[in-house]
Amino acid sequence: DPEATRDAIQVVRAVAPDVYVVARARYAQDLDDLFACGANEVVAEEVESSIDLASKVLRRFDVAPTAVAHFAEEMRDEGYELLRGPLGVRIDPWLADILDEMGTEWVEVPASAPAGRTIEELRIRERTGVMVVGVRHEGRTQTNPDPSTPIHPGDALLVLASGEELRALREFLESGGA
């Protein structure tokens, strides 16, 4: 109830003016009124659900998780301005950059992966485009691994990759590195 929320904020400001007020609004159109009443932050259900839906779609299409998190953070940092604007507003160029951005991701090496072959022997970067920046083997993590580092089922690879490259790596490892 926007009116009840405005009233509650005004009461809090009258009783305890230094209290940090975080309010919830159902719609983005109510944000300005709640800020004007004295809210320090306002969370809009409509906006948060839109960010959540967009994030789920991006993850479904293998956009790197770090890029998805960055997208959600940018949407919030923009103060919801993109979604508060008039309909038909074009998406800012930063969104395209974020979606193209590469991110780091841990990838578990499946049981079907070849045991003991090195990063160099597997030609991981050449075959998938992925850059291996860390290997976790038996609980120990080696950063910036040498190409002669062996890879074993059960290891985890910290990789720098796009969503498409992550998909290629997973397929490559699941196929036995063939």
Q: Could you read off the pLDDT tens digit of each residue along the chain, which spans 178 residues?
A: 889 999 999 999 999 999 999 999 988 888 889 999 999 999 888 888 888 888 888 888 777 788 888 888 877 776 566 555 554 444 556 655 655 566 778 899 999 988 899 999 999 999 999 889 999 999 899 988 999 999 999 999 999 888 888 889 999 999 987 7
* Residue 161 exposed, middle or buried by CB count within 10 Å (0-12, 13-18, 19+): buried
Q: Does residue 128 contact residue 165 with C-beta atoms inside 8 Å? A: yes
Distance separating alpha carbons of residues 57 and 86, to the nearest angstrom: 23
Q: Which amino acid is at 5?
A: T
Rounded to two decimals, what is the model's pTM? 0.48
